A = this chain, B = another copy of it.
Amino acid sequence: MDLQRIVEETWNELADERGSGNPARYIPALALVDPRKFGIALATREGEVFCAGDADEQFSIQSISKVFALALALERHGPGLWEAVGREPSGDPFNSIVQLEREKGIPRNPFINSGAIVTTDRFVDDRTPEQAVGDLMSRLRRMGRDESINFDEDVARSESETGSRNRSLAYFLADFGRLMNPVEDVLSVYFRQCALAMSCRQLAESSLFLPFDGTDPVTGQEMCSPSRSRRINALMLLCGHYDNSGQFAFEVGVPGKSGVGGGILASVPGRASIAVWSPGLNRAGTSMLGAKALSSIALKTGWSVFSGRPPQI
């Protein structure tokens, strides 16, 4: 299979639609991004990375960071995390608080905002916010093989200043006694984590542990056990796009996680890690062109976790 050709063809077919969808505007740093940006990067087991468009430009990965935070929180805190956060789709938007009241402060899953705040709290554990952020950065730099990976300070500050909804969710969790650390400490890590700036290439490379049973097949670095990586993939498939997860599974057919910065990370078990970026979002906060690109790559490659065709490797 000529993956470079597939990636390029996909980019070309969709190039005319650049600018469609609605970019997030709630903070200036996101609103200022050129809505016509469009990048694709596909990384394989063999260490190859096939790119198109703005694949090397960094963008705010936002909620995609929840995948890394989950892996690291499980590593640090262990399965006890699952006593504080569920593993079921919520059927609600990313920032909904309704379910949280009904279920006494146990978020449905680690990918809705409330669940991600709990996850970040458990990743912080008994450390200071600075120690936790330092650890997060060094881990991502190692996984992405790039010492320059960092969070965007402007974005982090803006997130904090405009973060009333997340603050409301965090205090709600605190009211139920669900946080180990003070609300503002947890949020200070959460806002920086969401402000991580990475390129499609960096994202695809640093997440190869997901499709390959927990271990980066290129560097041999183990991020988690095979069973844990499968479970993270399961959560991505069921909950990675909030109340649009079913639609994504239906159209694309592989685990994915979207961010309001316009990025989507897809994990194709046994095959590849794919990152796409285009700022315009659909109603549910998923990149419109990004989802189309992944759908097209899935069609062209025949990749789908639901496919019965014998693998073509």
A residues bordering B, Cβ < 8 Å? 86-92, 96-99, 101-102, 108-109, 164-165, 167-172, 174-175, 183, 211-213, 226, 229-231, 233-235, 237-239, 243-247, 249-250, 253, 255, 269-270, 304-311, 313
Contacts and interface: CB of A to CB of B under 8 A. Distances in A.
A307 to B, nearest CB: 6
Contacts of A304: 230, 269
B171 A164 contact: yes
Contacts of A109: 246
Given A91-B88, A91-B90, A175 B171 contact: no
Contact of A91 (B89, B172, B211): B89
B102 A98 contact: yes
Contacts of A313: 310
Copies in the complex: 4
Nearest to A209: B308
B91 A308 contact: no
Contacts of A90: 91
Contacts of A230: 253, 304, 306-307
Interface-centre pick from A97, A229, A234 (highest chain B CB count, 10 A): A234
A237 B230 CA distance: 14
A246 B87 contact: yes
Contacts of A167: 167-168, 171
A245 to B, nearest CB: 7
A35 B184 CA distance: 36
